[in-house]
Amino acid sequence: RKRSCLSRMKIKLDRLSSYIHDSVKPLLIAGPCSAESNEQMLATAIELKKTNTSIFRAGIWKPRTRPNSFEGVGTPALEWLKNVKEETGLKVITEVAKPKHVEQVLKYNIDMLWIGARTTGNPFAIQDIAESLRGVDIPVFVKNPLNADIDLWLGTIERFYNAGVKKIVAVHRGFFAYGSKKYRNVPQWQLPVELKRLVPGIPLICDPSHIAGDKMLVKEVSQTAMDLNFDGLMIETHIDPKNALSDQQQQLNPMELKELQDNLIIRNRDVTDKEVASSLKELRSQIDRLDDKLIDVLRERMHLAQLIGLDKKNNDITILQPERWKYILQDRTGKGIKEGLSNEFLILLLRAIHQESINIQMKVMNSKE
């Protein structure tokens, strides 16, 4: 299977603090899934002023999975969003999915826009939206695509960057997985973490609402995001969730959002305590030494694989020996579990090692010498 080897993008984004001055950490974006009425919007926004919310969200054009669901009220809601901005001083953000939406959003002076998960997965739409933003200085929040494809997410960010957008924020909203029980969209935390490594300086926001799909789970997901150093949260909040026209189960009311916010544990990103710093330093140097050893062991192991490959080649034996692989898997997971390592981790690790071993033997097998 092709696994693209991604290298860091050469881009320079504006810092989050350069355009969202008033935000306390974490940056809090809240508001309903959908704009339903001027009253619903204002009532929600006024309550949200009692929280740390600095950006008010509401969907106007809703990309629903099935037709005949509530698809948003469209352009009239821009007026309501503008009212929220004027009455409360909150910044406002909404979703755009095509250049027509961008045109409307700019006409109404909406502060920011987000790209939904379904749109991120569509390069044609993204290219068109990006072109419509050329020369416009507006922050763009890019949700991850529905499928766990980091290239698609990156590609969307690149298309906006290439069109001159310098204020880009990535939003992790989980990934669709058939049959998932706990989450509506499974969080695969390693993807946003990898994205942050690949795109230097990109702010990372988590949307726990669309990950959870259930209001009872929103807090847990939010806390995980904070522990992973996310810069902020986008949480669906409705003045009366039970009667919401979309995403009822996952929306909090403003009181519940306040409670969530007050109970979030925000850990320090930087180590300031001297004792903690020196203890961390010592533990890390031990880890560095162990990692050196690991690399040494792996190098030695792969060298043996090469010798085995040569033997197999000279004697016309297939590379994959299912019995041997079965034995390795059973023996090593058994030993590892006894040492307190998790079965899941052991299988992942052994599979990766075994695959590399096969790759090396393939090379030997196919070389002309």
Q: Can residue 247 be called a binding residue for Mn ion (CB under 5 A)?
A: yes
Q: Could you give the CA distance from residue 320 to residue 300 in angstroms, rounded to a whole number?
A: 20
Shortest Cβ distance from residue 115 to ligand PEP (Å)?
8
142 or 154: CB nearest ligand PEP? 142
Among 27, 29, 33, 142, binds Mn ion (CB under 5 A): 33
Longest dimension (CA), the chain: 81
**Residue with smallest beta-carbon separation from Mn ion:** 33
**Shortest CB 198 distance to ligand PEP, Å:** 21
The least distance separating Mn ion from the CB of residue 174, rounded to whole angstroms, comes to 12
> Which stretch, 46-54, 126-134, 244-252, 325-333, contacts Mn ion (CB under 5 A)?
244-252
Q: What string of DSSP letters covers 37-74?
A: -HHHHHHHHHHHTTTT--EEE-BSS---SSTTS-----
DSSP 165-181: ---EEEEE--B--TT-S
Q: Rg of the chain over CA atoms, in angstroms?
A: 25
Smallest gap from Cβ 14 to ligand PEP, in A, equals: 23
Closest distance of CB 236 from Mn ion, Å: 6
Q: How far is the CB of 293 from ligand PEP (least distance, A)?
A: 43
Give the range of 126-134, 137-145, 192-200, 240-248 binding Mn ion by CB under 5 A: 240-248
Give the binding range for Mn ion (CB under 5 A) out of 26-34, 134-142, 269-277, 317-325.
26-34
Residue 173, contacted partner among Mn ion, ligand PEP, none, CB below 5-8 A by kind: ligand PEP
Q: Please confirm whether the linkage preceding 26 is cis (ω < 30° from 0).
A: yes
| 207 makes contact with Mn ion (CB under 5 A) | no
Counting Cα atoms < 13 Å in the Cβ hemisphere of 23 gives 20
Q: Name the residue among 13, 354, 349, 351 with its Cα closest to residue 165.
A: 13
Dihedral sign computed on CA atoms, order 32, 51, 220, 169:
positive
Compute the distance between CA of residue 137 and CA of residue 33 in angstroms, rounded to an integer. 25
Beta strands in the chain (DSSP E): 27-31, 55-57, 91-96, 112-115, 140-143, 168-172, 204-206, 232-236
Neighbours of 335 (CB within 10 A): 11
Partner touching 143 among ligand PEP, Mn ion, none, CB below 5 to 8 Å by kind = ligand PEP
The minimum distance between CB 184 and ligand PEP, in angstroms, equals 9
Residue 76 interacts with, from ligand PEP, Mn ion, none (CB under 5-8 Å by kind): none
CA distance 177 to 330: 28
Asked whether the beta carbons of 105 and 96 are under 8 A apart, the reply is yes
Q: Cα torsion for 222, 227, 231, 232, to the nearest 10°?
A: 10
Render the burial of 144-158: b for 16+ CB within 10 Å, e for the rest: bbbebebebbbbbbb
Query: What is the smallest separation between the CB atom of 203 and ligand PEP, expressed in angstroms?
Result: 17
58 touches, from Mn ion, ligand PEP, none (C-beta below 5 to 8 Å by class): none
Taking the least distance from each CB to ligand PEP, the nearer of 111 and 207 is 207
Report the alpha-carbon distance of residue 246 to residue 63 in Å, rounded: 11
Q: Which span (2-10, 29-37, 183-191, 211-219) binds Mn ion, by CB under 5 A?
A: 29-37
Paired tokens of 306 = 């090469």
Residues found near ligand PEP in the complex (CB under 6 A): 33, 59, 63, 116-118, 143, 173, 207, 210
**Stretch in the footprint of Mn ion (CB under 5 A) among 6-14, 21-29, 31-39, 70-78:** 31-39
Indicate which of Mn ion, ligand PEP, none lies near residue 116 (CB less than 5 to 8 Å, by partner kind). Answer: ligand PEP
List the single partner that 159 binds among Mn ion, ligand PEP, none, CB under 5 to 8 Å by kind. none
Nearer to ligand PEP, 159 or 173 (CB): 173
Binding stretches for Mn ion (CB under 5 A): 33, 247
